[in-house]
């Protein structure tokens, strides 16, 4: 049965068009960008588990559902703002899916230098006039969580979420207070620029950021998971996502 992809256009602004002066050479058409975010409506929670003489990833991995997929919305708006800041007030087409499971494994979307998207989705973007696609997907990398001096972590992280270490002693950079354990919000994503005429990947950029928060900041001074309230957990990841995309988008689209 043919898979149907339901799309939601979140926002668009009017595209202003200019008329060439008589006798002027025809200018190259301005690129029109579509943006698709496939972060999804879940965050990953990875809890460090010490191992002895083993390179296997034995960390405890869980996921938590976040209603309304706020990270996709945040990402789409951040990319849109970055495009407009660089290219002017042209139209930017924003898309998201009601379920990223419709797309399967994010690594299955790439075949060499070609993007494999459902044909009906590509047709919809082209019909709307898009020439290029900025696609945001989850990425998987070895844990490298930023500390004041270097990085720490074990195993592999994917997408967005939190890494919990209840073993390591850390010192708070602000209070200089030492405590056992830390919480590390992280974003491990990939942004791809694709030409919609042939679905060729023009450029890609990995996005990885993290910060560490010692358990001394928690309510009981012990449990690292309690260093941030539920609302602060979401807002922290959203701010990290916005910051990374503001840097990544111009690097990809400036040459176009």
Across-strand partners of 60?
47
Q: Write down the pLDDT at residue 237.
A: 97
- Residue 16 in tokens: 């202003």
pLDDT by residue, tens only, the chain of 256 residues: 333 333 443 333 222 222 233 444 445 678 999 999 999 999 999 999 987 666 778 899 999 999 888 999 999 999 999 999 999 999 999 998 878 888 888 889 999 999 999 999 999 999 999 999 999 999 999 999 998 888 999 999 999 999 999 999 988 777 777 889 999 999 999 999 999 999 999 999 999 999 999 998 887 778 999 999 999 999 999 999 999 999 999 999 998 8
Q: Write down the pLDDT at residue 24.
A: 42
- Residue 170 in tokens: 């850390």
Distance CA(247)–CA(88), nearest Å, equals 17
- Residue 70 in tokens: 């706020």
Q: Are 188 and 138 in contact (CB under 8 A)?
A: yes
Distance CA(238)–CA(73), nearest Å, equals 10
Q: Write down the pLDDT at residue 149.
A: 82
Q: Write down the pLDDT at residue 22.
A: 41
Q: Are 173 and 231 in contact (CB under 8 A)?
A: no
Query: CA angle at residue 63 from 59 to 65, to 5 degrees?
Result: 170
The three state secondary structure string of 53-64 is: CCCCCCCEEEEE
Q: Write down the pLDDT at residue 23.
A: 43
Q: Write down the pLDDT at residue 18.
A: 29
Q: Are 45 and 164 in contact (CB under 8 A)?
A: yes
- Residue 16 sits at φ, ψ, to 5 deg, of -90, 135
């Amino acid at each position: 049965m043919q898979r149907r992809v339901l799309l939601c256009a979140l926002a668009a602004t009017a595209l202003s068009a200019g008329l060439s002066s008589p006798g002027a050479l025809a200018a190259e058409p301005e690129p029109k960008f579509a943006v698709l975010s496939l972060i999804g409506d879940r965050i990953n929670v990875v809890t460090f588990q010490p191992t002895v003489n083993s390179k296997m990833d034995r960390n405890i991995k869980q996921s938590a559902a976040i209603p309304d997929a706020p990270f996709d919305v945040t990402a789409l708006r951040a990319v849109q703002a970055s495009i407009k800041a660089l290219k002017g007030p042209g139209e930017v087409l924003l898309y998201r899916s009601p379920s990223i499971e419709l797309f399967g494994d994010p690594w299955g979307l790439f075949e060499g230098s070609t993007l494999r998207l459902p044909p009906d989705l590509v047709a919809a973007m082209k019909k709307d006039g898009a020439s290029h696609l900025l696609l945001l997907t989850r990425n998987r990398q070895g844990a490298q969580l930023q500390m004041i001096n270097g990085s720490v972590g074990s195993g592999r992280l994917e997408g967005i979420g939190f890494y919990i270490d209840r073993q390591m002693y850390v010192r708070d950079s602000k209070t200089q207070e030492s405590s056992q354990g830390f919480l590390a919000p992280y974003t491990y994503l990939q942004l791809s620029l694709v030409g919609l005429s042939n679905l060729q990947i023009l450029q890609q950029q990995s996005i990885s950021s993290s910060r560490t928060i010692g358990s001394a900041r928690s309510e009981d001074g012990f449990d690292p998971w309690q260093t941030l309230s539920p609302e602060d957990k979401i807002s922290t990841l959203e701010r990290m996502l916005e910051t990374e995309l503001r840097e990544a988008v111009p690097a990809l689209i400036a040459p176009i």
